[in-house]
Every structure is written in C-alpha cells, then in structure tokens.
Amino acid sequence: MALFTVIMTPTMWLPLLLIPLLLILKNMKKSQNKQEQQLPPGPLKLPMFGNLLQLGELPHQSLWKLSKKYGPVMHLKLGRIPYVVVSSAEAAREVLKVHDLDCCGKAQLTGVGKLSYNYLDVAFAPYGDHWRQMRKLCVMELFSHKRVQSFHFIREEEVASLVNSISQASSSASPVDLSQKMFALSGSILFRVAFGKRFQGSHFDNHKFHELIASAMAVGGGFTAEECFPYVGWIIDWFTGYHARIQSIWEELDSFFEQIIKDHLIKAESKQDHEDIIDVMLRIQREQANSADGGHQITKDNIKAVLMDLFLAGVDTSAVTVTWAMTEMARNPEVMSKAQDEVRKCIGNKGSITESDMDQLQYLKLVIKETLRLHPPGPLLLPRQTISHCKVLGYDINPKTLLQVNVWAIGRDSKYWNKPEEFFPERFVDNSVDFKGQNFEFLPFGGGRRICPGIQMGTLTVELALANLLYHFNWKLPNGMKEGDLNMEESTGQSLTNCKKTPLLLVPINYSHQPSEIA
C-alpha cells in the first residue's frame, strides 16, 4: 500500500519524467547546434570505424586524394575521434598563425603519455606554463645557435668516418646501402650530442638503441584501439598486447637513460671541457636548485622526456632527407653533376669539408630545399588538438578536434609549384621561400608555436653529409640499372617519417682531387 501511494503521488514521479525530457531537449539542442554550424566537408563515416579504413598504408597520400574531392579543409572521424586535415597553404596559415593559440593543444594519448613521462617533454606536452618553460629551455639552451655550433666537431668527425667506410667499400665496386649508412650516421651524431660518446660494441649499442626507438615510434606514435573504439577497444588492446609492448619498450629506454644520467652525475664532479645535452640539463637543474625564485624546476623525468623527443624526432628525419636527396640526384644525373661541380670547385683539393664551407654551397642548399618539398620527413605534421572553437576558411572547428597539416600535399600542389612532380632545385633560385615556418606553401618542419626547435641541428647534418658524398665520390646505379628503374615508393614503415620503401643502393667511385683541376 505504501509503495502504491508513492507511485501515485505526482510530486514523486513528475521529476522522474522530467529527466528523460531534459535529455531529449539537450540532444535536440546539440543536433540543432550541429546543423547551424558549418563543419568541413568529408567522406561518409562508417559506424564505429569512421574513416579509419580509408587511411591505408600511406595516410598522407590517401588524405591527399580525398582532399581533391572534398577540399583543403576536410572533416573525418578516426573511430569516435573528430579529425580535420588541412591541405592548402591558406588553410595551414589559419591553423598555424591566425588561430595558432586555438590550435596548439595536444591530444592526451596512452602511448605518447607513456613515452613522454606523462607529457613532461616538449613535443607532446599540453600547451601551458610547463610547455612554455620547456620550449624556452630548448630554444635558449639545447638548440641555440651557439650550442648547435659547439657540436660541429662531432658532425665533422662522424661524417669523416662515414666517408672512410664508403671509400673502403668502393675498392670492391660493390653497391653501398646508403639508407643504412645514413641512419647509422644520424644515430652516431645524436648519441654523441646527447650522451657524449658512442656505444658501439656494448650490450646496448647504437643499433640496438635505434631499433628500440623505431619500435617506440611504431607502437607509441598512434592511437590505442580503446581511444578509437570506447567500450570494446580495450579488448583489442588486450588481445594485441599493446600495453605490455609499450611498457616493455619504455622500461628498456628508461633503464638506459637512468644509467646514462647517473654516469653524468659522477662525471659532473670534475670539470668538463665540453657539455653534451645531458650535461646542459643537469647544470640547469643545479642552478635552479640553488636559485631562490621558486620557478620551474627540471626533474630527472624532464631530462628523460626531452631525450626521448630528441631521438624520436632526430634520427630518422636527417637520415631520410639525405637518402631522398641522393635518390633524386641518382634519378636526375644532371642535378648531381651540377651539385658535384659546385662542391669540388668551392672546396678544391683541400681534401676535407667542414661546416665553415657550407655558405659557399648555394646550389646544394637548393637541392636540399627541393628534397624537403617533395619528400618532407614528416609528411603530416604532428597532430594538434584544438583548445577552443575557431573557423578555418569559414568552416567551424570545434574544441578537442584532432587537427593535422598535410605538408606533403601542399608541397605537390600546382597552385604553388610549377610542375610539382618534377625534381627541379632551380625553382628556388631568387625565391625567398624557406622552411622556417613563415611560408605556408613550404612547411617541412611545421610552423607557429609548435615549430620544430631542432631545425638548425638537422639541416647542418644534412648539408655536411651531402657535401661530402658529392665531393669524395662519383656515383652510379648498380647492375646496369637506368635512372627510370629507381624505386621511388614511400613507406612510413615502423616510424612516423616518410622513408624510401626500398634501400638506396649505389656504387661509389673514389674521386681523385688533382691540383690541376682547381680553377
């Protein structure tokens, strides 16, 4: 009887009826707001999957093809995640400059969070005071012009070692795997810049470290199934062993970083002639501890997170750029001949090339620019997440939307580039366009607040390596291959970079520099 009285009392059940009514009204308002908004166009989204199945093995190429149908600002869904891709210089300018503050956030992803020590790095840290302080550390200390120049002897010694190894191999007239050589070179340089020494021959050598970094990029660089498919995705992650793999990779890298930092703390007790990256961060940590201002303090995990950024972003980018440049020159022998003539005329019979010679090599710089246009190492800029609502080319972009710039597509757009598929370095003659983030038709290193802070470090490595390869050797294709036989296919493989799908194999021929040849 008491229960019946409760059910029949309007003051008890009327509020219960209002709850679903309010939910219906809320959903109607949401639907109305969506109709009032002008979201970017995009392909049909499949239930649950969204547009994931349309990305393919080379997302930058798939998205480029879709943009030809749906336009330069395109809306997709990665499972449940809203995703906008921009594929024109005008749209990129709005994202990276006009609305940079609205679009400079970072998605909180499981793999990235683990590898970055819960976002204590620079590349993946959310926008805020911590990011500003870490960015300042990178710009003012770790990658300042003075600091980068202080590592010149490392780059010169490692490139000289590369030349020596190729010279020895040339005696057999056998092809050399330049792809592998470039990855080894980049790894050796970064090892010495970051840690102060190589680790060849140890149980944790350069090769082992590079394998771990490649695995970290492959496993930790994207979304988990749970992030794309709520409620059921965790089953896929459990079945594939995702969390166990990322934990295992992180533990190996963390253990290595821990030991290296301990070694540096012991070394810090004696005065050092030259600081590596860890030395610099430990010195700043000590200075902050002795300061009374109570500001931002660098922790050991900050140091490890920055090291992770350095290797995730630094090894592959320089290596693939040199590899693609040599590939394009092998395919266009007139370009290689012109670049060789410049290097050999400027350097003469000096016998070695140093970074002080680089300013003379203007055509070489054009070759590098053209390589970065056609083969940007990161074809899609690292994804951003919108912090607040903004409009891009008139389209509404809502908060917490994942946003990427397809720089590969922009670099091949005939609107900005004449005959964009051709490798033609001369297009940059008397052309002020550069890759420092202000020319939005050419963004190999990004732009805005999130532009890569290590541009100078990377470009110096590329310039020095290419100059030496062209100065010391002539190059020919193996086994009677013709220029048109070169495989130009791309592959993102186990990394986020735009690698050549097949190794670049070229036959080196030692070039003899005679005094009589000097102009």
Annotated binding site: 452
Instruction: State which H helix or E strand residue 236 sits in.
Output: helix 233-240
Annotated binding site for heme: 452
Q: How far apart are CA 493 and CA 490, in angstroms?
A: 9
CA distances for 287 relative to 116, 284, 397, angstroms: 24, 5, 43
End-to-end Cα, the chain, rounded Å:
112
Note the Cα 493 to chain centre separation in Å. 14
Widest CA span in the chain: 116
The answer to whether the beta carbons of residues 476 and 169 sit under 8 Å apart is: no
Q: Using H for helix, E for strand and C for coil, what is the string for 242-258?
A: HHHHHHHHHHHHHHHHH
* Helix, strand, coil abundance in the chain, percent, nearest 5: 55, 10, 35
The answer to whether the beta carbons of residues 115 and 496 sit under 8 Å apart is: no
Region label for 265, one of left (φ > 0), alpha (ψ between -120 and 50) or beta (otherwise): alpha
The tokens describing 498, both together, are 């735009």
The tokens describing 489, both together, are 């296919």
CA distances for 506 relative to 146, 158, 479, angstroms: 36, 20, 10
CA distances for 255 relative to 209, 306, 370, angstroms: 12, 15, 40
